[in-house]
C-alpha cells in the first residue's frame, strides 16, 4: 500500500487471509476487504467485509449472553484467543460496506449498511460499555490478586509510563459514536431521502457530529445547506489519509505475591500513532472552491474504546502471568524434589523459555483504516470536472454534471501515492428538485432508526 501498488496489496492481503489461523479470520477479512476497496474492487470488498460482519455477529454480538465470558476469557497469551472485533470494527465494517454500495450504484444497500452502523453505535452506547465493566468484575472475582496487584506501586509505575499520556496523544472522543459514520449517513439521507423525516434525521446527525467535533467548516456548511431545503447537484469529496493507530508491546515487572517468585513480567499493548497522514486538500470545480476539514480522527475513535477496555486488557495479562508463574514454580519444585539435577536444570530452562515465549501482548488491530477522514462539498460543476490538489497530490476527476456525486481520495501519506474513485450518489438529477425547496422543519429528537 505505501508504494501505491494497489493490486499487489490485494494479492498480499489475500494470501495472509488464506494462510493465517482461524482465530484471525475476522481481522484478516477486515484488512483484505479494506485493501480491496482501496483498489476499487468494490463488489469483492463488500463480500469480504460481509464475511467479517457475519463472523463478528456470530462470535461476539454484544447482545449475546456469552459476550461477557468472551471478554473475560484468559489464555496462555492474548494472541491465542480468537479476534472477535471491537465496537468500532463493527461500525466501520458497515460504513465501508455502505461506501462500496454507493460506488456500485446501490444507494438502497448503502442505507441498509448505514442503519447497521448506527445500530452498532447504539449497541455500544447502551450495552458494550456496561458489559466491559461486567466482564472486568467477573474477572476480578475469578482471580483474587488482580485488585491487589493493580494497587501495587510497581504496577502503577509501569502502567503510568505506558498509558499516562494516552489522553494527550490521542484525545479520545467522548462517547461511542463515530463522526464520519454520522456524517456519511446524514449525506445519504439528504441525497436519497424520502421526505421531511429523512431530512430531519440528516440534520440531527450533523448536529451530533458538530457536538462531537466542535466548530467544523465542512460540517457547518453541510448543515446550513441541508437546513435550507434547497436541492441542487452537489459533489462531496472524502479524503481518507494515513493509517489508523498500530499497537506495540510494552513490558514491565509486577508483584506476584508468591514467596518463591516475588516478581513476574507482563506484556501489554500500547497504542502508537502512525504519523505522516495528509490533513487536507483543496477542491475546485467551476467557480467554486473549498478546503476539506477533518470530520474524524480514527485515533480518537480507537483510543476511546482502547481506554474503556484497558482494565480488561491488563486484567487478562496479569491473570495469565500469575497462572504461568504458579505453574512454572510447581514444575520446578517437583523437579527439585526428584533429586535429579539434570531434570531440575531441564525443567527450569523449559519453564523459563515457556514463560518468555508466551508473555506476549495482543497487537492485532485494524491497521488499514485511515487515520483521518476529511470532507468538503462544492456545487457539481457544469462541465463535470473537479480538481483536487494539496498534500494528496493533484487529481482531475470527472463527475456527472447533473447529479449528486462523491469523490473518494485514498492517500497513504502526505506527498505519497494516492488513488481516487468517483461515483454518483443518486439515480435522478438533483436539479429536478432545485426549483422547489422544502420548508425547514424543526429537528426530531431521538436516534436514527
Check if the beta carbon of residue 385 is closer than 8 Å to that of residue 100: no
Of residues 329 and 182, more confidently modeled = 182
Of residues 448 and 373, more confidently modeled = 373
What is the CA angle 338-341-323, rounded to 5? 65
Per-residue pLDDT band for 264 (boundaries 50, 70, 90) equals confident
pLDDT > 60? residue 287? yes
CA 413 vs CA 156, 243, 390: distances in Å: 36, 8, 12
pLDDT (average), residues 305-323: 83
pLDDT > 50? residue 437? no
Q: What pLDDT was estimated at residue 431? A: 47
Q: Locate the DSSP E strands across 177-332.
A: 234-241, 246-258, 261-272, 281-285, 288-291, 293-297
Count the helices and strands in the chain (H runs, E runs).
15, 11
> pLDDT tens digits for 373-390?
999 999 999 999 999 999
pLDDT > 90? residue 242? yes
pLDDT (average), residues 91-111: 97
Per-residue pLDDT band for 326 (boundaries 50, 70, 90) equals low
Residue appearing with cell numbers 458497515: 94
What is the CA angle 193-195-196, rounded to 5? 115
The CATH number of domain 1-142 is 1.25.40: yes
Of residues 102 and 149, more confidently modeled = 102
pLDDT > 90? residue 198? yes
Per-residue pLDDT band for 215 (boundaries 50, 70, 90) equals very high
Q: What pLDDT was estimated at residue 64? A: 58
CA 205 vs CA 177, 179, 186, 376: distances in Å: 10, 9, 6, 17
User: What's the CA gap between 371 and 299, in Å, rounded?
Assistant: 6
Per-residue pLDDT band for 325 (boundaries 50, 70, 90) equals low
User: What's the CA gap between 3 and 152, in Å, rounded?
Assistant: 47
Exposure pattern of 63-83 as b/e (b: 16+ CB <10 Å)? eeeebbebbbbbebbbbebbb
* Sheet containing 281-285, strands listed edge to edge, beginning at the edge strand earlier in sequence: 288-291, 281-285, 385-390, 395-398
The structural domains of the chain, with segments of one domain joined by +, span 1-142
pLDDT > 60? residue 356? no
User: What's the CA gap between 82 and 385, in Å, rounded?
Assistant: 47
Question: Which range, of 136-140, 155-159, 232-236, averages the lowest pLDDT?
Answer: 136-140
pLDDT > 50? residue 335? no
| DSSP helix/strand/coil, 73 | coil
pLDDT (average), residues 8-17: 96
| Mean of all residue pLDDT scores within the chain | 84
The set of cell numbers assigned to 63 is 447482545
Q: What pLDDT was estimated at residue 322? A: 75
Q: What pLDDT was estimated at residue 336? A: 54
| DSSP helix/strand/coil, 50 | helix
Share of the chain above pLDDT 90, in %: 61
pLDDT > 90? residue 331? no
Per-residue pLDDT band for 191 (boundaries 50, 70, 90) equals very high
Question: Please, how many CA atoms are within 13 Å of residue 128, restricted to the half-sphere of its CB?
Answer: 25
Per-residue pLDDT band for 300 (boundaries 50, 70, 90) equals very high
Q: What pLDDT was estimated at residue 58? A: 87
Per-residue pLDDT band for 359 (boundaries 50, 70, 90) equals low
pLDDT (average), residues 146-161: 86
Query: Whose CA is closest to 365, among 252, 273, 439, 281?
Result: 273
pLDDT > 70? residue 72? no
Per-residue pLDDT band for 332 (boundaries 50, 70, 90) equals very low
Q: What pLDDT was estimated at residue 344? A: 40
Of residues 411 and 262, more confidently modeled = 411
Per-residue pLDDT band for 348 (boundaries 50, 70, 90) equals very low
Per-residue pLDDT band for 328 (boundaries 50, 70, 90) equals low
pLDDT (average), residues 40-49: 98
The phi, psi pair for 230, rounded to 5°, reads -75, 140
pLDDT > 90? residue 243? yes
Amino acid at each position: 500500500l505505501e508504494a501505491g501498488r494497489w493490486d499487489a496489496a490485494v494479492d498480499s492481503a489475500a494470501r495472509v487471509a488464506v494462510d493465517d489461523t482461524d482465530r484471525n479470520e475476522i481481522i484478516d477479512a477486515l484488512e483484505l476487504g479494506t485493501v480491496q476497496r482501496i483498489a476499487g474492487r468494490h463488489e469483492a470488498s463488500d463480500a469480504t467485509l460481509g464475511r467479517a460482519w457475519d463472523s463478528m455477529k456470530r462470535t461476539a454480538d454484544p447482545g449475546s449472553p456469552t459476550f461477557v465470558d468472551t471478554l473475560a476469557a484468559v489464555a496462555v497469551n492474548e494472541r491465542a484467543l480468537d479476534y472477535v472485533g471491537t465496537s468500532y470494527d463493527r461500525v466501520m465494517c458497515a460504513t465501508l460496506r455502505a461506501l462500496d454500495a454507493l460506488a456500485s450504484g446501490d444507494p438502497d444497500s448503502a442505507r441498509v449498511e448505514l442503519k447497521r452502523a448506527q445500530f452498532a453505535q447504539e449497541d455500544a452506547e447502551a450495552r458494550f460499555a456496561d458489559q466491559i465493566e461486567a466482564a472486568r468484575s467477573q474477572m476480578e472475582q475469578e482471580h483474587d490478586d488482580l485488585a491487589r496487584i493493580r494497587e501495587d506501586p510497581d504496577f502503577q509505575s509501569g502502567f503510568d509510563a505506558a498509558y499516562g499520556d494516552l489522553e494527550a496523544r490521542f484525545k479520545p472522543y467522548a462517547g461511542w459514536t463515530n463522526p464520519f459514520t454520522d456524517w456519511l449517513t446524514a449525506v445519504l439521507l439528504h441525497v436519497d431521502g424520502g421526505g421531511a423525516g429523512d431530512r430531519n434525521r440528516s440534520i440531527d446527525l450533523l448536529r451530533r457530529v458538530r457536538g462531537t467535533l466542535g466548530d467544523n467548516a465542512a460540517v457547518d456548511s453541510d448543515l446550513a445547506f441541508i437546513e435550507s431545503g434547497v436541492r441542487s447537484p452537489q459533489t462531496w469529496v472524502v479524503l481518507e489519509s494515513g493509517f489508523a493507530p498500530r499497537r506495540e508491546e510494552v513490558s514491565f515487572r509486577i508483584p506476584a505475591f508468591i514467596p518463591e517468585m516475588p516478581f513476574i513480567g507482563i506484556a501489554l499493548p500500547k497504542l502508537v500513532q502512525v504519523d505522516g497522514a495528509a490533513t487536507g486538500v483543496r477542491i475546485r470545480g467551476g467557480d467554486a472552491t473549498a478546503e476539506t476539514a477533518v470530520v474524524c480522527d480514527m485515533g480518537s475513535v480507537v483510543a476511546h474504546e482502547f481506554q474503556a477496555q484497558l482494565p480488561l486488557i491488563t486484567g487478562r495479562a496479569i491473570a495469565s502471568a500469575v497462572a504461568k508463574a504458579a505453574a512454572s514454580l510447581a514444575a520446578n519444585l517437583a523437579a527439585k524434589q526428584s533429586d535429579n539435577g539434570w531434570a531440575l536444570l531441564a525443567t527450569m530452562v523449559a519453564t523459563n523459555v515457556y514463560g518468555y515465549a508466551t508473555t506476549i501482548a495482543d497487537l492485532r488491530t485494524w491497521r488499514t483504516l485511515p487515520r483521518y477522514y476529511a470532507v468538503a462539498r462544492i456545487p457539481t460543476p457544469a462541465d463535470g470536472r473537479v480538481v483536487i490538489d494539496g498534500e494528496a497530490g493533484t487529481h482531475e476527476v470527472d463527475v456527472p454534471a447533473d447529479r449528486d456525486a462523491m469523490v473518494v481520495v485514498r492517500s497513504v501519506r502526505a506527498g505519497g501515492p494516492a488513488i481516487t474513485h468517483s461515483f454518483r450518489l443518486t439515480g435522478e438529477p438533483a436539479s429536478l428538485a432545485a426549483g422547489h425547496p422544502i420548508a425547514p422543519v424543526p429537528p426530531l429528537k431521538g436516534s436514527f432508526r
